[in-house]
Amino acid sequence: MSWALFWLVSFVVAFAAFGVISLLIAVRGVAEIRELFASLEEERRRRAP
């Protein structure tokens, strides 16, 4: 495999992986933020006198 081909494969993998994982983050991140708020709210109530 020539260097040019190797770098082309690296670029395609980098671009595709970046796009796919970013999409996953955008979709699944919302639910995780809701969970974080829920746990912080629970913690806040637990600490309240």
User: Which chain residues interact with other proteins by CB under 8 A?
Assistant: 3-4, 7-8, 10-11, 13-15, 17-19, 21-22, 24-26, 28-29, 32-33, 35-37, 39-41, 43-44, 47
> Which amino acid appears at position 5 of this protein?
L
How far apart, in Å, do the first and last CA atoms of the chain sit? 68
What CA–CA distance (Å, rounded) separates 48 from 42? 10
If we measure between CA atoms, which residue out of 26, 47, 43 comes closest to residue 35?
A: 43
Q: Least distance to other proteins from the beta carbon of 46, Å?
A: 10
Q: Least distance to other proteins from the beta carbon of 25, Å?
A: 5
Q: Least distance to other proteins from the beta carbon of 14, Å?
A: 4
